[in-house]
């Protein structure tokens, strides 16, 4: 066997080992998450929001384009993470719009406030607010956004009912999911939760590995 053939075989084997390892990790994570429901610790959120994801899998600008974010909009983001998406959304709604970045972990909120101060961004309002019972009034928000987040929250249908309550008529609930998030729900599961909450599908984008769904309030006669 010549050197090139040997290297190809070794490369192939390494790839198989890597993919099997990732698959195994995914299964182990899913089993743990099934039995122990807890918010992803804030130090891990740093790894979820990485340049690879933003460049090749889920660009903040593409997500914002799809959501139709415009100046003046009032936006709620659930579980904003490190803020790369939050700040991209905030730029779109400037100068008089605002992004309320809501999380239940103080660490996450503190880091976002610090980043907003550092980058001199005045329209990101990071706050502790529980998506099970938002502090926002009815019909007051143009977009409610949850990126890789909804399935982590213990009662997603209750959260979606809250999203519906605070959404203005004509507003959108925008959900995105991607693998290998250990809480990744199938598209059909998420659509089922939304239907149960009284939301109807408005638009859908992406494929199996990364998708984005938009819902609006179900209009009843
Ligand atoms: C996986 S992280 C979000 C990642 C981020 N959106 C991203 O795409 O990079 C999920 C976040 O949701 C937050 N979270 C969990 N339950 C929540 C709730 N009931 N209300 C608001 N935020 C919640 C967690 O604290 C955590 O920061």
Residues 22 and 46 placed together within one structural domain of the fold:
no
Alpha carbon 209 to chain centroid distance? 14
Starting at the edge strand found earlier in the chain, the sheet holding 74-78 runs 124-128, 98-103, 74-78, 141-147, 167-178, 210-217, 199-206
Whether the predicted pLDDT of 128 surpasses 70? yes
Residues 14 and 86 placed together within one structural domain of the fold:
no
Residues 21 and 129 placed together within one structural domain of the fold:
no
- Which domain covers residue 16, as residue numbers? 1-36
Q: What is the pLDDT at residue 221?
A: 54
Tell me the best of 63, 104, 180 to mutate to test the pocket of ligand 1, counting ligand atoms within 8 Å of each CB and taking the most: 104
CA 121 to CA 160: how far, in whole Å?
29
Residues 127 and 142 placed together within one structural domain of the fold:
yes
Tens digit of each residue's pLDDT (9 = 90 or more) over 189-205? 999 999 999 999 999 99
Residue 78's SS3 state is strand
Interior angle at CA 181, CA 180 and CA 182, nearest 5: 100
- Matching residue, tokens 């249908």: 157
Q: How much distance in Å is there from the Cα of 68 to the middle of ligand 1?
A: 23
Higher per-residue pLDDT: 184 or 144? 144
| Ligand 1, atom 21: closest residue by C-alpha | 103
Please state the atom number of ligand 1 nearest to the C-alpha of residue 181. 1
Pocket lining: 148 vs ligand 1, CB cutoff 6 Å: yes
CA 26 to CA 78: how far, in whole Å?
24
Whether the predicted pLDDT of 2 surpasses 90? no
Whether pTM > 0.85 for this model: the answer is yes
Q: How much distance in Å is there from the Cα of 189 to the middle of ligand 1?
A: 19
Residues 108 and 9 placed together within one structural domain of the fold:
no
Q: What is the pLDDT at residue 220?
A: 64
Residues 90 and 125 placed together within one structural domain of the fold:
yes
Pocket lining: 183 vs ligand 1, CB cutoff 6 Å: no
Q: How many domains, in total, are found in the chain?
A: 2
Residues 18 and 114 placed together within one structural domain of the fold:
no
Pocket lining: 39 vs ligand 1, CB cutoff 6 Å: yes
Q: Are 119 and 87 in contact (CB under 8 A)?
A: yes
Please state the atom number of ligand 1 nearest to the C-alpha of residue 148. 8
Identify the CATH number of the domain in which residue 172 sits. 3.40.50.150
pLDDT more than 70, % of the chain? 99
Q: What is the pLDDT at residue 48?
A: 78
Tens digit of each residue's pLDDT (9 = 90 or more) over 26-77? 788 778 877 777 777 777 777 778 888 888 888 999 999 999 999 999 999 9
């Amino acid at each position: 066997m010549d050197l090139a053939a040997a290297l190809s075989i070794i490369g192939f084997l390494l790839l198989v080992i890597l993919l099997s390892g990732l698959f195994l990790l995914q299964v182990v994570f899913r089993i743990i998450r099934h039995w122990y429901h807890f918010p992803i610790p804030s130090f891990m959120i740093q790894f979820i929001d990485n340049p690879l994801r933003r460049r090749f899998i889920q660009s903040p600008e593409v997500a914002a384009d799809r959501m139709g974010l415009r100046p003046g909009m009032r936006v709620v983001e659930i579980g904003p993470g490190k803020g790369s998406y939050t700040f991209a959304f905030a730029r779109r709604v400037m100068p008089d719009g605002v992004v309320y970045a809501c999380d239940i972990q103080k660490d996450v909120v503190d880091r976002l406030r610090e980043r907003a101060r550092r980058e001199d961004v005045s329209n990101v309002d990071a706050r502790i607010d529980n998506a099970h019972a938002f502090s926002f009034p009815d019909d007051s928000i143009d977009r409610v956004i949850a990126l890789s987040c909804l399935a982590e929250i213990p009662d997603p249908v209750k959260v979606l009912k809250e999203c519906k309550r605070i959404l203005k008529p004509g507003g959108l609930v925008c959900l995105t999911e991607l693998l290998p998030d250990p809480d990744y729900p199938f598209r059909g599961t998420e659509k089922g939760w939304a239907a149960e909450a009284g939301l109807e599908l408005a638009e859908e984008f992406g494929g199996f590995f990364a998708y984005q769904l938009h819902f609006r309030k179900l209009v009843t006669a």
